């Protein structure tokens, strides 16, 4: 006999909210007949009770049993009436069991066999059961409802059991149950009731008992929530908290999805449960957590103290703390590199490092194209505006010389990000800082080792001069003769590059004028060796050579050197007339300044220790007259320019010439006063007119400097040629009186010279060596004066 609760009002309200309506089956009253259900056949009553221990020795061999035969057999074994439907009457099963077995065992085996064939026995009253087809979809109110585990039937009968939970959430319990039970039966289901914190289990009684045992072990009080402050030393609290929170939420979401995927065979459609038997994760999450994080741990950052606050279950807090400590690890030395460049500019090297790292670390599909900065030194040729006149009579500005725009660099730090690598160029300290994978750092280290090395320097000495040419004088011939006299039997070479095809002449024929082509343009007259100074002095002594400039400059290999000298002249550009016409009009003129320079640009390229290739660009501007335009005197600027490339041995001098200019000069002489009287001045004066022809000559000499010793030797050599340096070495210099010998200060008065001797401390003289043969001789000790 089964006993059911008579009052389930509160549970009915709960089930109504969850969307499931369960009906309670009333107990039949004693002495009253039970009315049969409409459409069902009532089997004749047999004896109400049987002995369950009755033994059947031969067993049962029934290969085919109809529904009616099943009802008769079940009544024989249990003494209970069996009510069956027409659908159950049409079902046939096979029941073959060898003996001996008791009625109790036979009844249990019959129920299990029917269960396997799709028939179930459902309690219907006192000494009464129903034989029904197993439903393919859950129906409302088809099974008895049990809320007490002690009232579950001993046999495997389909019942609905209300499982109350104390500490665990219904969804968590359902996830555990569906994980333990691989698959529920076609008629089974697990429905969570969050408002009542309970589960409604519909299954056979034996399986429900198993789930009750599991519930007793898992529905235990949780540990008290644990809270902890974690201080950070290396990482940022806000970024670390976001990362840890994301990991915890992702892990919890994965667990929830896995648990939801295990809840199969759910047939009752309720809110939060999908018809296919999979739990609707979104609905369950929204109902249980209000749409918040899956994780039960809270991770908050305190930016002011750079700490992270964690609260939750002890296991979750422990996991979060381990993640935080992992993020708060110090930087690996292999991922950081800092190097101060010695010879390279860090701003220029940054482009090279960026391209190298991009090539080895960034995939082709990740390259954006066109965003990488260009590298290398783009050396453009001389970008000088030649002062061409426009239609309104204005001149463009000449940008020659005095500018470092080509080699300008950023003053502040620069940063570039390539993939996972950060490059920082500290221009103020010329230091490169790298943070990224070890592979990228290795690439940059290798580049620095190969490129950050000392480069050759080149001293470039140039001489600009004009050689006065007569009607029968050619500089080439005259220079060859002068050079031969100063150099003796040693020979040079001669050639020209007017047409681009060099002509090599016999060096012994430099005195022969026919060795030089009579073509206008630049000529390479020769190459001077160690006798350059003597040759130049001989040319100056001839009176025909005028020295214009003799600059010297140092530059590194393959870098531009600019030598320029000149002035800026005012040039009117626009004139404006205002205030009417005639005498009442006022006129204003805009003035622009134009460079008139003598400029030489040289880019040396050291080919070897004995040879240098020079890229030469020479411009010489001169005022050769003036032109009156709209009442304004506009200066006429003449220009001479040379651009060429020549290879010169180290220490030798190349001579460039061939730029010849002509100008008319007139000289008036006569008797003073009378020569200025109009009409009579022609009688008392003489005007001499002549054509002056001059050829511009350029001497360029490169000297390779490979180390400190070469530099010191070259400085010593240059100092010997400078009067200022010689005066400095002798003490006769522009240094303050305090640091020079008073006896050699000719510009000082005798009184001042005597006063300065009181505090002048000259360099001590070395002590004289004492001979062993004269031990008694006194040593001369130099005493200086000190004030």
Query: Are 584 and 505 within 8 A, CB to CB?
Result: no
Residue 402 lies in a domain: no
Read off the pLDDT of each residue in 245-267 and give the average, rounded to a whole number.
66
Quick one: pLDDT at residue 541? 58
Strand pairing partners for 338? 433
Read off the pLDDT of each residue in 634-650 and give the average, rounded to a whole number.
86
**Res. 383 pLDDT band, cuts 50 70 90:** very low
Residues 44, 81: one domain?
yes
**Res. 362 pLDDT band, cuts 50 70 90:** low
Residue scoring higher pLDDT (631 or 163): 163
Tokens of 334: 């292999």
- CA–CA separation, 191 vs 201, rounded Å? 7
Residues 485, 622: one domain?
yes
**How much of the chain exceeds pLDDT 70, in percent?**
61
Residue scoring higher pLDDT (374 or 132): 132
- Whether the pLDDT of residue 146 is over 60: the answer is yes
Domain containing residue 48: CATH number: 3.30.1370.120
Residues 166, 301: one domain?
no
Read off the pLDDT of each residue in 542-567 and give the average, rounded to a whole number.
81
- Whether the pLDDT of residue 37 is over 50: the answer is no
Phi, psi of 718 (to 5 degrees): -65, -35
Read off the pLDDT of each residue in 628-652 and give the average, rounded to a whole number.
84
Compute CA 40 distance to the chain's CA centroid, rounded to the nearest angstrom: 82
pLDDT per position as a tens digit, 424-479: 999 889 999 998 888 889 999 999 999 998 888 899 888 888 877 765 454 444 55
**Res. 240 pLDDT band, cuts 50 70 90:** very high
Residues 620, 474: one domain?
yes
**Res. 334 pLDDT band, cuts 50 70 90:** confident
- Burial environment of residue 64 by CB neighbours within 10 A (0 to 12, 13 to 18, 19 or more): exposed
- Whether the pLDDT of residue 568 is over 60: the answer is yes
Query: What is the dihedral sign for C-alpha 399, 400, 401, 405?
Result: positive
Residues 214, 230: one domain?
no
Quick one: pLDDT at residue 536? 57
pLDDT per position as a tens digit, 91-145: 888 888 888 889 888 888 888 888 888 888 888 877 888 888 876 544 445 567 8
Quick one: pLDDT at residue 28? 37
Strand stretches in 295-341, DSSP E: 298-302, 307-312, 336-340
| Separation of first and last alpha carbons in the chain | 132
Residue 756 lies in a domain: yes
Determine which of 562-576, 656-670, 750-764 has the lowest per-residue pLDDT on average: 750-764
Residues 556, 639: one domain?
yes
DSSP string, 442-455: HHHHHHHHHHSS--
- Whether the pLDDT of residue 414 is over 50: the answer is yes
**Owning domain of residue 639:** 459-574+588-705
Domain count, the chain: 4
DSSP 3-state of 30: coil
Element (H, E) at 63: strand 59-65
- Whether the pLDDT of residue 480 is over 90: the answer is no
Quick one: pLDDT at residue 425? 92
The DSSP code for 674 is: G
Closest CA to 347 of 432, 421, 453: 432
Residues 623, 652: one domain?
yes
Quick one: pLDDT at residue 14? 33
- Whether the pLDDT of residue 375 is over 50: the answer is no
Residues 191, 231: one domain?
no
- Whether the pLDDT of residue 493 is over 70: the answer is no
Residues 203, 262: one domain?
no
Quick one: pLDDT at residue 517? 42
- Whether the pLDDT of residue 484 is over 60: the answer is no
pLDDT per position as a tens digit, 274-286: 333 333 333 333 3
Residue 213 lies in a domain: yes
Residue 409 lies in a domain: no
- CA–CA separation, 480 vs 619, rounded Å? 25
- CA–CA separation, 619 vs 601, rounded Å? 9
Cis amide linkage into residue 100, ω under 30° from 0: yes
Read off the pLDDT of each residue in 705-719 and give the average, rounded to a whole number.
77
Residues 492, 609: one domain?
yes
Read off the pLDDT of each residue in 480-487 and give the average, rounded to a whole number.
48
Residue 424 lies in a domain: no
The DSSP code for 222 is: P
pLDDT per position as a tens digit, 183-216: 776 678 888 888 888 998 888 888 888 899 999 9
Residues 49, 149: one domain?
yes
DSSP 3-state of 785: coil
**Res. 743 pLDDT band, cuts 50 70 90:** low
Element (H, E) at 736: none
Quick one: pLDDT at residue 395? 33
- Whether the pLDDT of residue 497 is over 90: the answer is no
Q: 312, 327, 342 — which closes off a domain?
A: 327
Residue 582 lies in a domain: no
Residue scoring higher pLDDT (521 or 655): 655
Residue 583 lies in a domain: no
**Res. 86 pLDDT band, cuts 50 70 90:** confident
Burial code (b: 16+ CB inside 10 Å, e: under 16) for 20-52 equals: bebeeeeeeeeeeeeeeeeeeeeeeeeeeebee
Read off the pLDDT of each residue in 374-380 and give the average, rounded to a whole number.
38
Query: Are 174 and 219 within 8 A, CB to CB?
Result: no
Strand pairing partners for 705? 457
- CA–CA separation, 185 vs 259, rounded Å? 18
Provide Rg for the chain, Cα atoms: 56
- With tokens 């004030």, the residue in question is 787
pLDDT per position as a tens digit, 48-70: 468 888 888 888 888 888 888 99
Compute CA 6 distance to the chain's CA centroid, rounded to the nearest angstrom: 75
Tokens of 597: 């320079």
Residue 592 lies in a domain: yes
Q: 309, 327, 345 — which closes off a domain?
A: 327
Q: 327, 357, 385 — which closes off a domain?
A: 327
CA distances from 538 to 429, 479, 542 (A): 51, 10, 6
- Whether the pLDDT of residue 181 is over 60: the answer is yes
Query: Are 617 and 381 within 8 A, CB to CB?
Result: yes
Residues 238, 176: one domain?
no
């Amino acid at each position: 006999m089964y006993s059911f609760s008579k009052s389930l009002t509160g549970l009915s309200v709960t089930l109504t909210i969850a969307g499931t309506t369960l009906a309670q089956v009333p107990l039949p009253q004693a002495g009253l007949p039970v009315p049969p259900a409409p459409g069902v056949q009532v089997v004749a009553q047999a004896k109400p009770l049987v002995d369950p221990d009755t033994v059947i020795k031969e067993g049962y061999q029934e290969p085919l049993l109809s529904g009616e035969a099943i009802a008769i057999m079940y009544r024989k074994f249990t003494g209970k009436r069996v009510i069956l439907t027409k659908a159950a009457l049409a079902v046939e099963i096979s029941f073959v069991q060898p003996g001996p077995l008791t009625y109790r065992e036979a009844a249990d085996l019959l129920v299990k066999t029917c269960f396997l064939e799709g028939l179930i026995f459902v309690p219907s009253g006192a000494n009464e059961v129903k034989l029904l087809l197993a439903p393919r979809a859950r129906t409302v109110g088809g099974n008895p409802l049990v809320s007490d585990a002690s009232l579950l039937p001993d046999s495997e009968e389909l019942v609905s059991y209300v499982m109350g939970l104390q500490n665990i959430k219904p969804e968590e319990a359902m996830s555990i149950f569906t994980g333990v039970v691989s698959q529920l039966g076609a008629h089974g289901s697990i429905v969570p009731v969050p408002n009542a914190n309970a589960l409604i289990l519909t299954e056979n009684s034996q399986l429900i008992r198993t789930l009750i045992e599991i519930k007793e072990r898992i529905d235990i009080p949780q540990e008290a929530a644990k809270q902890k402050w974690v201080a950070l030393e290396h990482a940022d609290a806000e970024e670390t908290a976001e990362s840890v929170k994301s990991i915890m939420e992702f892990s919890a979401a994965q667990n929830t999805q896995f648990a939801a995927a295990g809840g199969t065979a759910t047939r009752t459609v309720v809110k939060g449960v999908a018809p296919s038997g999979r739990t609707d994760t979104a609905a369950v999450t929204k109902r249980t957590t209000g749409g918040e994080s899956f994780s039960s741990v809270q991770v908050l950052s305190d930016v002011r103290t750079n700490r992270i606050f964690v609260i939750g279950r002890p296991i979750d807090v422990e996991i979060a703390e381990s993640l935080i400590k992992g993020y708060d690890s110090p930087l690996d030395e292999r991922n950081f590199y800092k190097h101060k460049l010695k010879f390279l500019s860090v701003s220029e090297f940054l482009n090279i490092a960026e391209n190298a790292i991009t090539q080895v670390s960034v995939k082709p599909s990740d390259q954006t194209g066109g965003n990488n900065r260009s590298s290398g030194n783009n050396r453009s040729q001389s970008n000088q505006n030649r002062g061409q006149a426009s239609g309104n009579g204005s001149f463009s500005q000449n940008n020659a010389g005095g500018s470092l725009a080509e080699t300008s660099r950023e003053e502040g730090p620069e940063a570039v990000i390539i993939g996972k690598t950060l490059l920082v160029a500290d221009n103020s300290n010329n230091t490169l800082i790298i943070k990224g994978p070890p592979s990228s750092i290795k690439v940059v280290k290798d580049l620095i080792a190969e490129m950050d090395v000392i480069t050759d320097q080149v001293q470039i000495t140039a001489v600009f001069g004009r050689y006065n040419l007569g009607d029968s004088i050619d500089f080439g011939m005259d220079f060859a003769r002068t050079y031969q006299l100063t150099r003796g039997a040693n020979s040079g070479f001669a050639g020209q590059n007017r047409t681009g095809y060099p002509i090599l002449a016999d060096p012994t024929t430099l005195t022969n004028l026919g060795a030089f082509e009579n073509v206008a343009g630049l000529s390479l007259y020769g190459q001077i060796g160690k006798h350059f100074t003597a040759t130049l002095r001989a040319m100056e002594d001839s009176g025909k050579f005028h020295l214009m400039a003799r600059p010297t400059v140092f530059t590194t290999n393959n870098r531009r050197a600019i030598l320029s000298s000149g002035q800026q002249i005012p040039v009117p550009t626009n004139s404006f007339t205002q205030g009417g016409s005639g005498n009442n009009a006022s006129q204003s003129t805009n003035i622009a300044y134009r460079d008139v320079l003598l400029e030489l640009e040289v880019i040396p390229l050291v080919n070897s220790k004995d040879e240098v290739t020079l890229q030469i660009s020479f411009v010489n501007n001169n005022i050769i007259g003036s032109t009156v335009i709209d009442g304004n005197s506009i200066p006429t600027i003449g220009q001479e320019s040379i651009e060429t490339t020549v290879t010169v041995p180290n220490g030798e001098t190349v001579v460039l010439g061939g730029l010849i200019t002509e100008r008319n000069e007139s000289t008036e002489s006569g008797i003073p006063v009378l020569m200025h009287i109009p009409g009579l001045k022609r009688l008392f004066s003489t005007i001499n007119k002549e054509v002056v022809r001059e050829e511009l000559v350029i001497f360029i000499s490169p000297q390779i400097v490979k180390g400190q010793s070469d530099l010191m030797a070259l400085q010593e050599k240059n100092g010997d040629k400078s009067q200022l340096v010689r005066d400095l070495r002798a003490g006769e210099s522009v240094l303050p009186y305090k640091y020079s010998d008073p006896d050699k200060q000719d510009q000082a008065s005798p009184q001042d010279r005597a006063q300065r001797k009181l505090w002048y401390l000259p360099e001590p003289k070395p002590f004289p060596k004492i001979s062993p043969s004269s031990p008694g001789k006194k040593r001369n000790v130099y005493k200086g004066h000190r004030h």
